[in-house]
Amino acid sequence: MFIKERLFTPGPVPLPPQVIKALGQQIIHHRTPEFTEIFLNTRKNFQKLLKTDRDVLIFASSGSGAMEASVLNFFKKGDMVLIINAGKFGQRWKELASTFELKIVDYEITWGKTYDKDRIIEIIGEFPNLKGIFVQHSETSTTTLHDIKFLAEVKNKLDDCILVVDGITSVGVYEVYPDELGIDVLVTGSQKALMLPPGLSILYYSSKAEERLSSSNIPKYYFDVKKEAKKQINGQTAFTPAINLILGLNESLKLILEEGVPKLAERHRILAEMTREAVKEIGLKLLSKSPANSATGVLTPEGLNADDLRKELLKLGFRVAGGQDHLKGKIIRIAHMGYFDFMDVIQVISALEIALYRMGYNVEIGKGVKKAQEILIEKIKTD
Amino acid sequence: MFIKERLFTPGPVPLPPQVIKALGQQIIHHRTPEFTEIFLNTRKNFQKLLKTDRDVLIFASSGSGAMEASVLNFFKKGDMVLIINAGKFGQRWKELASTFELKIVDYEITWGKTYDKDRIIEIIGEFPNLKGIFVQHSETSTTTLHDIKFLAEVKNKLDDCILVVDGITSVGVYEVYPDELGIDVLVTGSQKALMLPPGLSILYYSSKAEERLSSSNIPKYYFDVKKEAKKQINGQTAFTPAINLILGLNESLKLILEEGVPKLAERHRILAEMTREAVKEIGLKLLSKSPANSATGVLTPEGLNADDLRKELLKLGFRVAGGQDHLKGKIIRIAHMGYFDFMDVIQVISALEIALYRMGYNVEIGKGVKKAQEILIEKIKTD
Instruction: Supply the CATH number for residue B310's domain.
Output: 3.90.1150.10
Whether A47 shows a pLDDT value over 90: the answer reads: yes
ipTM of the complex: 0.89
Residues A218 and A315 reside in one and the same domain? no
In whole angstroms, give the CA distance from residue A37 to residue A56.
16
Residues B139 and B268 reside in one and the same domain? no
Whether B220 shows a pLDDT value over 80: the answer reads: yes
Question: What is the model's pLDDT at position B381?
Answer: 80
Question: What is the model's pLDDT at position A158?
Answer: 97
How many domains are there within chain A?
A: 2
Q: What are phi and psi of B185, to 5 degrees?
A: -130, 130
Comparing alpha-carbon positions, the chain A residue that sits nearest to B265 is A2
Give the H/E segment covering residue B164: strand B162-166
Cβ neighbors of B230 (< 8 A, separation 6 or more) are B238
Distances (CA, A) of B358 to A378, B144, B304, B345, B365: 10, 29, 12, 20, 11
**Long-range pairs for B21-25: beta carbons < 8 A, 24 or more residues apart:** B21/B251, B22/B244, B22/B247, B22/B248, B22/B250, B22/B251, B23/B196, B23/B197, B23/B244, B23/B245, B23/B247, B23/B248, B24/A24, B25/B244, B25/B247
Residues A185 and A145 reside in one and the same domain? yes
- Residue B26: other Cβ atoms inside 10 A: 6
Give the H/E segment covering residue B19: helix B17-23
Residues A36 and A76 reside in one and the same domain? yes
Whether A382 shows a pLDDT value over 90: the answer reads: no
Strands (E), A61-209: 80-85, 103-108, 132-136, 138-139, 144-145, 162-166, 185-189, 200-205
pLDDT per residue over B70-120, tens digit each? 999 999 999 999 999 999 999 999 999 999 999 999 999 999 999 999 999
pLDDT per residue over A275-329, tens digit each? 999 999 999 999 999 999 999 999 999 899 999 999 999 999 999 999 999 999 9
A1 found inside a domain? no
Cross-chain Cβ contact B4/A343 below 8 Å: yes
CB-CB neighbors (< 8 A) of B343 in chain A: 3-4, 6, 316-317, 347, 350-351
DSSP 8-state symbol, B328? T
Whether A65 shows a pLDDT value over 80: the answer reads: yes
Q: Smallest CA–CA separation between A343 and chain B, in Å?
A: 6
Angle in degrees, 0-180, between the axes of helices A243-259 and A33-49, rounded to the nearest 10:
40
- Residue A267: other Cβ atoms inside 10 A: 21
Out of B316, B341, B366, the one facing A3 most closely (by C-beta) is: B341
Cross-chain Cβ contact B1/A380 below 8 Å: yes
Residues B239 and B284 reside in one and the same domain? no
Residues B250 and B270 reside in one and the same domain? no
Mean pLDDT for all residues in chain A: 97
B83 found inside a domain? yes
Amino acid at B146: H
Whether B383 shows a pLDDT value over 70: the answer reads: no
Give the mean model confidence (pLDDT) for residues A140-151.
98
DSSP 8-state symbol, A306? H
B65 found inside a domain? yes
Residues A148 and A38 reside in one and the same domain? yes
Out of A7-11, A331-335, B68-72, B379-383, pick the least confident: B379-383
Range of the domain at A301: 6-12+261-381
Residues A346 and A252 reside in one and the same domain? no
Residues A29 and A173 reside in one and the same domain? yes
B1 found inside a domain? no
The three-class DSSP label of residue A104 is strand
A147 found inside a domain? yes
Share of chain A above pLDDT 70, in %: 99
Give the H/E segment covering residue B331: strand B331-335
A144 found inside a domain? yes
Give the mean model confidence (pLDDT) for residues A195-199.
96
- Using H for helix, E for strand and C for coil, what is the string for B298-313? EECCCCCCHHHHHHHH
B36 found inside a domain? yes
Share of chain A above pLDDT 90, in %: 98
**Long-range pairs for A29-32: beta carbons < 8 A, 24 or more residues apart:** A30/A236, A30/A237, A30/A240, A30/A241, A30/A243, A31/A236
CB A321 within 8 A of CB A192: no
Give the H/E segment covering residue A335: strand A331-335
A103 found inside a domain? yes
Cross-chain Cβ contact B380/A267 below 8 Å: no
CB-CB neighbors (< 8 A) of A2 in chain B: 259, 263-264, 267, 341
Residues A196 and A332 reside in one and the same domain? no
Last residue of a domain, one of B259, B275, B295: B259
pLDDT per residue over B240-291, tens digit each? 999 999 999 999 999 999 999 999 999 999 999 999 999 999 999 999 999 9
Cross-chain Cβ contact A341/B317 below 8 Å: yes
Cross-chain Cβ contact A343/B350 below 8 Å: yes
Report chain B residues touching chain A, CB-CB < 8 A. Answer: 1-4, 6, 24, 259, 263-264, 267, 316-317, 339, 341-344, 346-347, 350-351, 353-354, 357-358, 365-367, 369-370, 373-374, 376-377, 380, 383
Residues A86 and A199 reside in one and the same domain? yes
In whole angstroms, give the CA distance from residue A253 to residue A7.
21
In whole angstroms, give the CA distance from residue A190 to residue A338.
11
Residues B215 and B176 reside in one and the same domain? yes
Last residue of a domain, one of B259, B274, B303: B259
Last residue of a domain, one of B259, B287, B306: B259
pLDDT per residue over A159-185, tens digit each? 999 999 999 999 999 999 999 999 999
Confidence at B155, pLDDT banded by 50, 70, 90: very high
Confidence at A383, pLDDT banded by 50, 70, 90: low
CB B114 within 8 A of CB B289: yes
CB-CB neighbors (< 8 A) of B351 in chain A: 343
For residue B101, the domain's CATH number is 3.40.640.10
Angle in degrees, 0-180, between the axes of helices A261-282 and A342-358, rounded to the nearest 10:
20
CB B206 within 8 A of CB B162: yes
